[in-house]
Structure 1
Amino acid sequence: MRWGSMVFDTTWLDIAARGILLAAAAILWVVVLVRINGLRSLSKMTNFDFVMTVALGSLVAGAAQASDWKAFAQAMVAMAGLFLVQFLAARIRKSSDSAEDAMQNDPVFLMRNGEFCDAALKNTRVAKSDLIAKLREANVLDYGQVRAVVLETTGDVSVLHGDHLDETLIENVKRV
């Protein structure tokens, strides 16, 4: 049975009201799922977290546009499924180093001690101009101050600059 025949007519006002109500219900459902699963759910600390966030947004949009209750319910169940998969993946990663290695990319040096790592830039398909933009964003004034630039597992770029670098901050970073 279609939503329009149950509650709403097909005027633009009714369509807008349906969209707002369904979007609100979907967002409230996400809040409930985040409260159950924890704040880490949308943290973007790993590539799984990033995919989770993007997929969740798509499902919320699908729920807000659902033309019948089955499509809406399917989107809501799929959201819960995403949280469950993320929860299980985190548990597996935590309990096994081999699973961690299989599921997670290594962070990579793009720059080290003021020098570009050209092989890493080529391997990771990061343009030097994009890296320079990240250096500007991090308020780097001199390449000589750059201790390390790291392409993180999430795709974020970390710029570490200053007079001294504690080596424990980069002990798991891969050199290409």
Structure 2
Amino acid sequence: MNEWFGSTPIALLGVVLSSMGMYLTILVLARWSGVRSFAQMSAFDVAVTIAIGSLLATSVVSTDPPLLQGVTAAATLYGLQLVVSRLRRHNETTRRTFDNDPILLMGPGGQLLAENMQIARVTEDDLRCQLRKANVIDPSQVEAVIMEGTGTVHVLRGHGTSPTPDAWILQNVRDYSGALASPLSSRC
């Protein structure tokens, strides 16, 4: 029972030094790799962020792995993130492998897209919650609700205009309902 609540001064000093070492390592690596290192723009970015958090926690409070192994693992994860982000930018196959394309959940005029919602595993309650977060009072004012590849939901309002089906903002958005195939402005 004593080992749950107590520790030796040497063990506590080890935690302090490991914390400082991992903190400095992650700070340097994050500055080196740029803002994107915590941006979570793709599923791969989310996985790397979670892995780095887990690695930080393990390296700080445990002697296994030792600090040098934790530093090496963090550098490897940041390096992989840089390589994958560059490959994603220049190669569509790589982008599709590492990224989840966004999916349209609600179409013009507040039209619920049940098939898309089912594929994204989103309920009407989930969607209502996101609309409330976006301060939507009248769903008919919504032109699109899109779930991004990272799980973030964005609500697009028309403000009197509707995006065309080939609008740049809707590029790569999955739509199994066909709502994007028809002109958005031709609704009743």
**8 Å Cα contact 1:66/1:72 also seen in 2:** no
Separation in 2 of the partners of 1:11 and 1:152?
A: 45
CA RMSD of aligned residues (A): 1.8
Residue aligning to 1:78: 73
Residue aligning to 2:170: 170
- Runs ≥4 residues deviating over 4 A: none
In the alignment, structure 1 segments of 5+ residues that lack a partner are: 1-9
Cα deviation, 1:99-138, whole Å, max 9, x if unaligned, reads 2222222110011111111001111111211111111011
| Percent of residue pairs identical | 33
Q: 1:56 aligns with which of 47, 52, 56?
A: 52
Mean Cα deviation higher: 103-112 or 155-164: 155-164
**TM-score, structure 2 length as denominator?**
0.81
Aligned residues: 166
Separation in 2 of the partners of 1:117 and 1:17?
A: 57
Separation in 1 of the partners of 2:13 and 2:93?
A: 50
Separation in 1 of the partners of 2:7 and 2:133?
A: 48
Corresponding letter in the other structure for 2:174? K
**8 Å Cα contact 2:42/2:98 also seen in 1:** no
| Pairing 1:94–2:89 present | yes
**TM-score, structure 1 length as denominator?**
0.86
**8 Å Cα contact 1:109/1:148 also seen in 2:** yes
Q: 1:136 aligns with which of 132, 135, 146?
A: 132
